[in-house]
Amino acid sequence: MERVLIMFFLAVGLNLSHNLSAATAIGMISLEKVYNGYWRTDVENKKLKTKQEEALDRIKKLDESLRKEGTVLGNMIKAMQDPRLAAAERSKRQQQVQTKQKELQQMQDAIQGFRERTRKDLELDMRKQREQIMEEIQQIVSNEAKKRKLNLVLDAAARSASIAPIVIFTDGENDLTEEVLRQLNLSDPKKGSGANKDK
């Protein structure tokens, strides 16, 4: 009787495993390869780089102006300390130094504010760009998965919180990477064809 029960549970287990396997069709994709290989990613990255370079150039010029004004202040302080100055003149120059110090502090605060705003703007632009591109990729993946009757698509390069790979093994079957890339790059104005974009 015990042997019959064992055989029964083995048969049920094998049947259940077969049903689960048949019910869940899994596809794979290298999301990093698709993202980096999409022509729009390169275009948007160049736009961001241009914005960053323009902002850095602006900050460089502002810093240079601040240094020049700092030199002026230093000369004013040195002149104020001239022992030959009359008391009235010394008092006048002291007020001028104080005014210049306030101006420099305002300039420094303005530059720091510009740095912070620029950093936040660039981060926002980068996040929007990535979200838009990912939406386009997800739409193509979704359409291709439905066409192939896949229930789930996993990123082959994904990592867990502990940096361990989520996908331990794949035989390459139902890999959507190249097909998704091909469809995305059909709109590449530089190519005008469905050829894959070289990395």
Q: Over 60: is that where the pLDDT of 1 sits?
A: no
18 domain residue, yes or no = no
- Backbone φ, ψ for residue 157 (5° rounding): -100, 5
As a whole number, mean pLDDT of residues 134-151 equals 94
Q: What's the pLDDT tens digit per position in 119-129?
A: 999 999 999 99
pLDDT at 22 over 80: no
Partnered with residue 27 across adjacent β-strands are 153
pLDDT category of residue 192 using cuts at 50, 70 and 90: low
Residues facing residue 155 across a β-bridge: 29
| Window from 67-71, 87-91, 188-192 with minimum mean pLDDT | 188-192
Question: Residue 46 burial by CB count (10 A; 0-12/13-18/19+): exposed, middle or buried?
Answer: exposed
User: Domain range holding 153?
Assistant: 25-187
Whether residue 17 is contained in a domain is answered as no
Which pLDDT belongs to residue 23? Answer: 59
Q: What does the pLDDT average to over 72-86?
A: 91
Number of domains the chain contains: 1
Mean pLDDT of the chain: 84
The answer as to whether 195 is a domain residue is no
Q: How confident is the model over 20-33, as a mean pLDDT?
A: 79
The structure tokens listed for 167 are 């996908």
- Domain-located, residue 71: yes
> What CA–CA distance (Å, rounded) separates 152 from 198?
27
180 domain-assigned: yes
- Give domain status of residue 157, yes or no: yes
8 occurs within a structural domain: no
Asked if the structure places residue 159 within a domain, the reply is yes
The mean pLDDT of 3-19, rounded to a whole number, is: 44
Q: Between vectors from CA 92 to CA 91 and to CA 97, what angle results, nearest 5°?
A: 95
